[in-house]
Structure 1
């Protein structure tokens, strides 16, 4: 099997509820010598496209619609092409459409050219992700699992052939995923994590949106203890 997974780590900031957080994000490039799918580009399009090289970007999958996954998505989808017909399709879950529209509406306000501003306001993802949807790259399948909680449209991506789970910011090593320790809907997120992990092989690698990799077994063993985080949040 020629298919491989490459990782690019980038860093920047994200603003949530008027608070700015420093974030170090993992972008994953899945494919072979000819074509790839990019999962969660963030902050540094040049670094990501340098790793892609001359290979064709077949799709860009966003595991959520938060701004750090949107700030370079157009550049990565374009991959140096000038003709929009050659841009890679961008995929996002429909439940994060509001996050997408908020982000590109803010960009539109910064544009002096009204045509460019109008284009940004009308921009939509090319593919709406659905639970159970499948992408294929270099002979392997990537299955989408809707895991709401971190955001309404958060998803994870499973490839049993590669033995990996791309968990985005739904699940990080040793903890439920978060931005700056802040949770959108932790109880829903924990339910999604539990439903996700239970049927999966315990030795499946987990490649998260932030931090180091782990395994399904390691995180499944910790999952129940995270309920205390949700109870503490309800008492605050």
Structure 2
């Protein structure tokens, strides 16, 4: 098994409910010397593609449809290829389709060329993620786990062989994940986190969409204490 994980940290903006937030996001590149899968291509496509180098991007996985995970998605999927037929497939959960469409509709509004605007409005993910779906790269499997709450279509990605959980913005170190401290559906998010953590080995690394890594054991020990957050949200 030659698979390894590389990380790119970038800063940018995310807009939720017409409020703009400054965020620092993690992009993860999983693969070997020849092929990679990119998870959450946030903010800076140029930096991500520099890390990818000459390797082929086999897929781009978005753990949710918020704009910081979409603003580099087309450039990374293209990876310098002009012919769209050679672009890597982009994967998103169907329940975040509205977020996807909103993002690309906003991009289209800023496009002066009507043909380009029409093309942006018609862009769709190539793969609709499903719970239990599997991606294979460099001898390892990436398993999709639907973890709604942060957004309806939030997913986490588990790799047993590497002992890693990519938790997106469902779970951050020491707290449920959020953008700007805003929670969409805290109760559902906490249920997703509990279901996600319980069956996994305690030493599993958790690589979140924002912030530093943690472990399943550390976050599982904190999970029950977060119930008060759901009460505050109510």
Q: What CA deviation, in whole Å up to 9, does each residue of 1:22-56 have, x standing for no partner?
A: 10000000000000000001110110000000000
Q: Quote the residue 1:224 is aligned against.
A: 224
Distance 2:15 2:156 in 1: 23
Q: State the Cα deviation string for residues 120-141 of structure 1 (Å, max 9, x = none).
A: 1111000000000000001100
User: 1: CA distance between counterparts of 2:116 and 2:59?
Assistant: 24
1:207 alignment partner in structure 2 = 207
Q: Give how far 1:113 is off.
A: 1.1
Partner of 1:82: 82
Residue in 1 that maps onto 2:189: 189
Q: Which residue of 2 aligns with 1:176?
A: 176
User: In the alignment, does 2:35 pair up with 1:35?
Assistant: yes
Give the aligned partner of residue 19 of structure 2.
19
Matches within 5 A, 1:1-236: 1-234=1-234
- Which range moved further: 220-229 or 104-113? 104-113
- Please list every run of at least 4 consecutive aligned residues from structure 1 whose deviation after the TM superposition is greater than 2 angstroms: none
Distance 1:105 1:23 in 2: 22
SS at match of 1:5: strand
CA RMSD of aligned residues (A): 0.6
Q: d(CA) in 2 for partners of 1:15 and 1:153?
A: 17
- Unpaired runs of at least 5, structure 2: none
User: What SS is found at the alignment partner of 1:212?
Assistant: coil
* TM-fit CA distance, 1:14: 1.0
1:2, CA displacement in angstroms?
1.3
Q: State how far apart, in whole Å, the 2-side matches of 1:232 and 1:117 are.
A: 42
Q: How much has 1:15 moved relative to structure 2?
A: 1.5
Structure 1: gaps of 5 or more residues: none
TM-score normalised to the size of structure 1?
A: 0.98
